[in-house]
Amino acid sequence: MDIGTREVTFTVGEAARQVGLSTYTLRWYEQEGLVAPVGRDSAGRRRYTPQDVNWLLLLTRLRRTGMPVRDMRRYVELARQGDGTLAARRALFEEHRVRVLEQMAELEEDLKVLDFKIDHYRRAELGEFD
């Protein structure tokens, strides 16, 4: 697929910076089939469209929230199949949302422990335990 010159596009490096990935990781997403084949310019270099970047932003958020790559692959497969898979995509996100909420609850408990220890050491430094 050759990208026309009128469309706004980004190099691999520019796209990687926009989504917070290394170029190596961005290419890995492509190799894993998580990203549709990216257009190329007349010299054969990858050129990412704003839609490609938005897709990558979604994938990086899913990954950052701990979604397993197998679930990301499943989502990609479903999305490529079209609107007939809307319910399955919603269900996949609902299941992942439950896991994210559980992780958040665990992190809140972990944060309480950190706050306790910070307060404990602060008080100890002030000599409140003498």
Three-state DSSP at 30 gives: helix
pLDDT one-digit tens code per residue, 67-103: 999 999 999 999 999 999 999 999 999 999 999 999 9
Domain containing 9: what range?
1-64
Question: Residues 29, 72: one domain?
Answer: no
**Sign for the pseudo-dihedral over CA of 96, 102, 103, 108:** positive
pLDDT one-digit tens code per residue, 17-39: 999 999 999 999 999 999 988 99
Question: Residues 25, 49: one domain?
Answer: yes
Q: What does DSSP assign to residue 40?
A: E
Question: Residues 80, 45: one domain?
Answer: no
**Please, which pLDDT band fits residue 128 given cuts at 50, 70 and 90?**
confident
Question: Residues 36, 50: one domain?
Answer: yes
**Please, which pLDDT band fits residue 6 given cuts at 50, 70 and 90?**
low
pLDDT at 47 over 90: yes
